[in-house]
Every structure is written in C-alpha cells, then in structure tokens.
Amino acid sequence: MKKVYVGNLSFKLNDADLSEVFEASGTIVSARIIKDRATDRSKGFGFVEFETEAEAKEALKLDGQEFEGRPLKVSLAREQRPRQGGGGGRHHSGGERERW
C-alpha cells in the first residue's frame, strides 16, 4: 500500500469527498482529512492510501488540478517517523535532585 499527501483542500470537504476525487486513480484503501483536535475542523490537508504504488503514482497526476476553486497539491507521503520525546516523568528545574 502507498499513501499520497493531498494539500490545499477546501475546508468543507469530508473523507468521502476526498475519496471521490481520487477514485479514478485506483483502489482506495482509505481517505482521511486531517482535523484539528480541539475544533474538529479540517486543517485543509489529508491522505489517501492506495493498494499499490502504481495507483499512488497515478494519483500524482492530479497535482495542480483545480478542485473546488483551489489547485490541489498532491505528492507521495513521507513515512511517518517514530515520535521521540519525553517519558512523562518528573521535571526538575535546578536545585538538588530528588533521590528515588
């Protein structure tokens, strides 16, 4: 399976609309508009996952095509890197460290 990034989307589109835009490119496994967690509003971009890499590359032909008055930005999605970061432990800011 291969994903494509789709940007510059109208904020009123939903997942089904996004899927419909790309259905001619191949078999869609999933289509998802990314939303703001706090407001549940679209962030104006999403991802479409296809069964094959060839179908994903076919979808790239829609890059620059106008949809709902906006030129789509379509590219192969980068692999998501594992998140790094804190472990949720205690934060010590100066002074003596607490002994466990």
Domains identified in the chain and CATH numbers: 2-76 (3.30.70.330)
pLDDT the model gives residue 79: 77
pLDDT in tens, 17-41: 999 999 999 999 999 999 999 999 9
pLDDT the model gives residue 82: 73
Sequence-ordered list of residues with C-beta below 8 angstroms from that of 8, at least 6 positions apart, any chain: 44, 45, 70, 71, 72, 73
H/E segment holding residue 40: none
Residue 40 is encoded by which pair of tokens? 């549940």
